[in-house]
C-alpha cells in the first residue's frame, strides 16, 4: 500500500514540477484566428503533459468564453450598423414623401356622369 502512495506522491510532485507557460509564451487574443491558435497550443501542451488535464480544461474554457464574448461584440456591431442604415433609409423615405408631388383631383361634371346632374 505504501508503494502505491509513494508512486502517487511522485506523480503529483512531477506534475507540479513541470514547467508551465510564461506570459510571453501566451499572446493576447485579438481575433478568432489567434484564439484558435491558442486553443491548439493548449491542446498540444495537454498532449505533451506540459499542462495537466485540469489546467488544459480551464484554459480551453477561458478561450471558449473569450470567443463567445468576441462573437457577441461582433454581432452587436453588425446590429448597430444595420440600425443606422435602417434609420437613414427611413429618413430618406420620409423626405421623398414630403417632396411636392402633383396632386390629382377629380372633378365630376354633370355631362360626363351617367346619372346626370348630381348637384
Averaged confidence pLDDT in the chain:
81
All three cell numbers of 68: 463567445
> Is 71 a domain residue?
yes
Which one-letter DSSP state was computed for residue 1? -
Structural domains counted in the chain: 1
Is 55 domain-assigned? Answer: yes
What's 20's DSSP letter? -
Counted residue by residue, the chain has a size of 119
Domain assignment present for 88: yes
77 lies in some domain: yes
Q: Of 3-12, 42-51, 60-69, which gets the smallest average pLDDT? A: 3-12
For residue 115, is it within any domain? Answer: no
| Helix/strand/coil for 119 | coil
The interaxial angle of helices 53-98 and 32-47, nearest 10 deg, is 170
Least confident among 24-28, 36-40, 68-72: 24-28
Domain containing 13 equals 2-98
User: Measured in Å, how far apart are the chain's first and last C-alpha atoms?
Assistant: 118
Kindly state whether residue 56 falls inside one of the protein's structural domains: yes
Could you give the residue ranges of the DSSP H alpha helices within 18-52?
A: 32-47
Indicate whether 93 belongs to any domain. Answer: yes
Residue 96: pLDDT band with limits 50, 70, 90: confident
CB-based contact 119:108 (threshold 8 Å): no
In-domain check, residue 63: yes
Distance CA 13, CA 103 (A): 91
pLDDT of residue 52 exceeding 80, the answer is yes
Amino acid at each position: 500500500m505504501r508503494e502505491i502512495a509513494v508512486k502517487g506522491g511522485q506523480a503529483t510532485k512531477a506534475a507540479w514540477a513541470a514547467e508551465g507557460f510564461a506570459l510571453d509564451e501566451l499572446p493576447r487574443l485579438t481575433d478568432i484566428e489567434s484564439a484558435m491558435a491558442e486553443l491548439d497550443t493548449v491542446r498540444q501542451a495537454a498532449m505533451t503533459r506540459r499542462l495537466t488535464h485540469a489546467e488544459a480544461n480551464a484554459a480551453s474554457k477561458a478561450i471558449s468564453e473569450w470567443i463567445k464574448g468576441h462573437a457577441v461584440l461582433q454581432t452587436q456591431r453588425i446590429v448597430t450598423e444595420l440600425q443606422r442604415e435602417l434609420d437613414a433609409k427611413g429618413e430618406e423615405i420620409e423626405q421623398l414623401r414630403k417632396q411636392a408631388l402633383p396632386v390629382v383631383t377629380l372633378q365630376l361634371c354633370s355631362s360626363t356622369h351617367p346619372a346626370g346632374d348630381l348637384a
